[in-house]
Structure 1
């Protein structure tokens, strides 16, 4: 995504209109020049790349456009690494300690580097040159990090990413978003709700899979204190929404007038005909590393219970619940598994409220021992589920013990 200074939009009354680049030879040429600049910078420092980008930018009136494209290339397609024989902090300590034993002069500096070069070559069992020590001393500074890998996109793909990022930036200051998803296949609803859960968005959901859902999402500007992190979470939802076939949304924005500094309301609308292109894969995301680790380790168990990721929606008033997994036995038994590892008090209150209202008689609740349920006001004796406690990782064997009971 793009930082606020690189967002470009205009306002028509209350309607906010973000900048969208056409995919044509001119814009593709701009994208190609920037991609080539990054490709040729592989093996060089970030500072050298910055200088090349400034030279390419020149005095062009499109400087914000070029900076936006460069920002996306740097943050989404490039890998910068610290290249040094040792961690730069340790290397500096070794060099300064050794150099303190002689008077500062050019000859002493070269002798210090040669001495440390020989020492490190023996310690690390690989040749360490004096020049590597010299460049590695401050390799941890951002401008000295090396571009080690660049996964160059097609120019059209970069322009699509730019257009999507401009739209995402609109939601940084949203106070509310109302999303209507209708007449879609159930799998698309499930994917959408999983992303809502993954990004920790505060939602109120009405409807059902047959007639569609109306999803009201509180924005970062509706909180007591505007949260940049929460605004980014809403923006991250937009690429996931593009996997849904039929939808429309309306957002209310709180924008600061650049001339008066006062806050005023804005409006933004978007639907499935927007022409934006997502970069999210269509697969089902895991909500956490705990879930991913559990699913990967389940396959190593010798059991007839089959772990399924595809779980039906459980409708409850004002929301839906999607358990993380279903466990199915060949004899027809099935159990639902929900993993609770997130700590925020309002999330815990909402989660356990969902569990009580769902009233499932085949639910297993795996709860992290790190959670302070008392502080969140959660009473486990009122939760209609079988409880499993875990520390860092949820053990598949612990779940299997409950299943076998």
Structure 2
């Protein structure tokens, strides 16, 4: 992402659109500056000379900086050294000449049992721009342009009042998205729209001012959305005193990084073993299409015919009750497998279609439940 100050956008009526970068020439120059610079500050100063469009070069540099490896410092030692320098300067009087400043560093060097040059270096390392570039990023100009254009969309959403996203019902993608939503503490509702899922993410916006922190969180979802095969975004954003509408899609956007979140095939060995056993006699879908219940996404673990299967570890009666209520609202048959060892209830309180297992679910325990739905039943 880039700071809102680096956002380049075009406004037309009530609509706003990022000013995407299409030419990778400037991106190539920025990369070369990073490779030749010794410190972060030297790199930042060098890119300022590339173009008169300061927002553009600063934005590109900011994106590239996230990939630059800079030297690691001992922050405690740096802090201690600076405090000692300030204490010595105060004791010796404010140093006005080069000789007086040198005396301050010599005093601190003797006190800390270091070389004078080492003290001077540590004193400067408190400022990020003084740190050495250990390794410049190995990236092509085209890749930097794609990352920059993605960052423009994110910056625009820093000021979002709401974001709507239309995505395909693809469980692997949605699983990563929902985990990110929960981790960021976002609020959302979702509906089925023409076979796709339409998400609406809302922020705590008052009539007087917008909470920018929430807009930043929304912006972090953009890579999850744009990694989908098909996607559309619509948002209201507040720039200055005006509210604009931003619309973008996979059809109209320039090339963007395609980095879909990695999803493990199975969440646990229990799930893996269940799949291995049942797939010998039935066709089993792993994480089938997502279901929408009460404006929330629910992705069952498995699907056998029309039967959804959920494997539960830690559970309580209230948890199972909520799970059942959620699924019955969409009228889908459900089989819940619960761990005996992680139960926080007596088994007398279990509802129909709940199977308790000790180490792992056994085929003999679940066969009568899955038999009516088993497509390849022999």
Indicate conservation of the 8 Å contact 1:334/1:362, yes or no: yes
Q: Secondary structure at the match of 1:277?
A: coil
Deviations 1:117-161 (A, max 9, x none): 7x45xxxxxxxx432222112421233233233223211111111
Relative to structure 1, the CA distance from residue 338 to residue 188 in structure 2 (aligned partners, 3 Å threshold; closer, same or farther) is farther
**Preserved contact between residue 271 and residue 311 of structure 2 (Cα < 8 Å):** no
Q: Is residue 202 of structure 1 aligned with residue 187 of structure 2?
A: yes
The answer to whether 1:52 aligns with 2:50 is: no
Q: How much does 1:255 deviate?
A: 3.2
1:318 counterpart = 2:295: yes
Residues 98/207 of structure 1: CA separation in 2 closer, same or farther (3 Å cut): closer
Partner of 2:15: 15
**Which has the greater radius of gyration?**
2
| Cα distance in 1 between the residues matched to 2:125 and 2:159 | 37
2:262 to 276, 283, 292: 283
Residues 90 and 320 from structure 1, CA distance in 2 versus in 1: closer, same or farther, beyond 3 angstroms? Answer: same
Aligned match for 1:232, one of 216, 225, 237: 216
1:135 maps to: 121
Matched, 1:91 2:48: no
How far off is 1:221 after superposition? Answer: 4.2
Contact 1:178 1:249 in 2 (8 A): yes
State how 1:247-262 maps to structure 2 within 5 Å. Answer: 247-256=231-240, 262=241
Give secondary structure in 2 for the equivalent of 1:87. helix
TM-score when normalising by structure 2: 0.66
Aligned residues of 1:85 and 1:132 also touching (Cα < 8 A): no
Return the offset for 1:40.
Answer: 1.5
Per the TM alignment, residue 108 of structure 1 is displaced from its structure 2 partner at its CA by: 5.7
Aligned to 2:229: 245
In the alignment, is residue 67 of structure 1 matched against residue 58 of structure 2? yes
What are structure 2's unaligned runs of at least 5 residues? 276-285, 303-308, 328-333, 351-356, 362-378
- Whether the 8 Å CA contact 1:173–1:220 is kept in 2: the answer is no
| Structure 1 residue aligned with 2:281 | none
SS of the residue 2:153 aligns to? helix
Matched, 1:358 2:292: no
Partner of 1:31: 27
Going from structure 1 to structure 2, the CA distance change for 1:189 and 1:148 (only over 3 Å counts) comes to same
Structure 1 322/158 Cα, relative in aligned 2: closer, same or farther at 3 Å?
same
User: How many Å separate the matches in 2 of 1:130 and 1:401?
Assistant: 67
Q: CA deviation at 1:11?
A: 1.5
- The Cα of 1:84 is off from its aligned counterpart by 6.1
Report the TM-score when normalising by structure 1.
0.62
Map 1:153-302 onto structure 2 (within 5 A). 153-182=139-168, 184-207=169-192, 211-219=195-203, 221=205, 226-256=210-240, 262-263=241-242, 265-273=243-251, 274-278=253-257, 280-284=259-263
Distance (Å, rounded) in 1 between the aligned partners of 2:218 and 2:103: 57
What is the root-mean-square deviation in Å for CA atoms of aligned residues? 4.7
SS in 2 for 1:203: strand
Instruction: Tell me the distance in 2 between the aligned counterparts of 1:143 and 1:169.
Output: 23
